[in-house]
Amino acid sequence: MVRTRQLTPGTPRDDAQVDSLRRGLEVLRLFDLRHRKLTLADIARKLELTRPTTEKLVQTLQAQHFLQATGDSYEPHIACLALGRAAKKGLSTGQAARPLMRELSQRFGVHVTLSTRDRLHMLVVEHCVPAGRVQLGLTTGARFPMAVSASGRAYLWGRPQEQRDELLGMIEADAPSGASRALDDVYAAFRELEKAGWCYLAAPVATHTASIATPVKAGSDFALAAMAVSADVTEAVLRDQVAPALLAMAERVALATDGED
């Protein structure tokens, strides 16, 4: 049986789901910006499926234009594109945030993202790049771990306490090692969010990608983040200038989508 985990609090119980459909969806979930092509062996290994079962799932998805063959590999096909475009168009939060994100990005020379949760990752649904700057790989559809990102920590902090605790338990259980340190950093971010409404994440060594993030509002499914992409945007600039503007933007997005998030 395909290996799946209950990573979304409040989802239907397993016996209310169609197993074959769930297996097919698990196949599709394996593809992302870092894994654009996968072989049958890759899919079987990642989902712990037999080769015959994997072949049937892939052939079904291929027949319905969700996958296409490219040599000895498979990649997402046009039916996935149609679903993705429909999903993005239906996100009122993204529509409200997009022009404000663009304005903030150009004003301060920072990358700005709007992201939401996908299991224990954050998924980018909107991304604005200041003129003349590199993309950083944060285009729509990019995913990054929740616990080690400013956006993920802001999202967690904004959740109701019961769901936050459940997600933190999943994060701890999912981490093979170093979980206590990761959660220590998450709780430190929570303290900063309680005090300031946003959290700061320092840049990795030798890069300039420090970031700040805040939930759109308490209980929101979305988090906003701004990232420095040059040495000109210092920690002081992020904290003293960008952070207040990010909070003001979040408030405007929340007002524009009140009752829809």
Q: Are 158 and 217 in contact (CB under 8 A)?
A: yes
Is 176 inside any structural domain?
A: yes
Based on the fold, state whether residues 119 and 186 are members of the same structural domain: yes
Spatial separation of the C-alpha atoms in residues 186 and 199, rounded to whole Å: 10
Percent residues over pLDDT 90 in the chain: 68
Instruction: Give residue-wise pLDDT tens across range 135-147.
Output: 666 788 888 899 9
Domain match, 74 and 143 both: no
Any residues with CB less than 8 A from the CB of 240 and at least 6 apart, and which? none
Sign of the alpha-carbon dihedral angle for 5, 92, 159, 138: positive
Query: Does residue 182 share a domain with residue 109?
Result: yes
Q: Note the pLDDT tens digit of each residue in 8-66.
A: 555 555 566 788 999 999 999 999 877 889 999 999 999 999 999 999 999 999 999 99
First to last CA, the chain: 35
132 and 42 within one domain: no
Mean pLDDT, residues 77-104: 90
- The residue among 152 and 86 whose pLDDT is bigger is 152
Average pLDDT over residues 86-99: 89
Distance CA 122, CA 124 (A): 7
Same domain, 101 and 76: no
Q: Which domain CATH number covers 74?
A: 1.10.10.10
Measured between alpha carbons, how far is residue 63 from residues 2, 51, 56, 60, 121 in Å? 21, 18, 11, 5, 30
Is residue 120 within 8 A of residue 174, CB to CB? The reply is: yes
In-domain check, residue 22: yes
Please tell me whether residues 69 and 96 are part of one structural domain: no
Q: What is the DSSP letter of 145?
A: E
How many structural domains are present in the chain? 2
pTM: 0.84
Both tokens assigned to 153: 């920590």
CATH code, 170 = 3.30.450.40
Query: DSSP letter at 239?
Result: I
Per the domain annotation, does 94 fall within a domain?
yes
Do 60 and 134 sit in the same domain of this protein?
A: no
Determine the Cα–Cα distance for residues 115 and 72; give it in Å rounded to an integer: 33
Asked if 26 and 2 touch (Cβ cutoff 8 Å), the reply is yes
Q: Indicate if 139 and 30 belong to the same structural domain.
A: no
Taken in order 106, 249, 82, 42, the sign of the CA dihedral is positive
* Same-domain check for residues 131 and 39: no
Note down the domain range covering 38. Answer: 17-80
Distance CA 128, CA 203 (A): 19
pLDDT of res. 123: 93
What pLDDT is attached to residue 229?
81
Does pLDDT of 7 surpass 60?
A: no
Mean local confidence (pLDDT), 93-112: 95
Helix axes 150-158, 161-174, angle to 10 degrees: 140
In a domain, 110, yes or no: yes
pLDDT above 80: residue 98? yes
- What pLDDT does residue 2 have? 46
Asked if 208 and 98 sit in the same domain, the reply is yes
Q: CB under 8 Å to 121, separation ≥6 — which residues? A: 143, 144, 145, 146, 152
Same-domain status, 65 and 160: no
Contact 227, 211 (CB under 8 A): yes
Pairing mode, if any, of strands 110-118 and 222-228? antiparallel
9 lies in some domain: no
Identify any residues that bridge with 106 across adjacent strands, giving them in sequence order: none
Two tokens, residue 40? 């049958």
Supply the pLDDT for residue 11. Answer: 57
Residue 10 inside a domain? The answer is no
Residues 68 and 194 in one domain: no
Point out the domain boundary residue: 33, 53, 80. Answer: 80
Of 80, 115, 130, which residue sits at a domain end? 80
Give the per-residue pLDDT at 170. 92
| Alpha carbons 255 and 165: distance in angstroms, whole number | 27
Domain boundary among the residues 80, 105, 125 is at 80
pLDDT for residue 10: 52
Confidence of residue 209 (pLDDT cuts 50, 70, 90): confident
Taking 50 as the threshold, does the pLDDT of residue 258 lie above it?
yes
Q: How far is residue 189's CA from residue 195's CA, in Å, rounded to a whole number?
A: 10
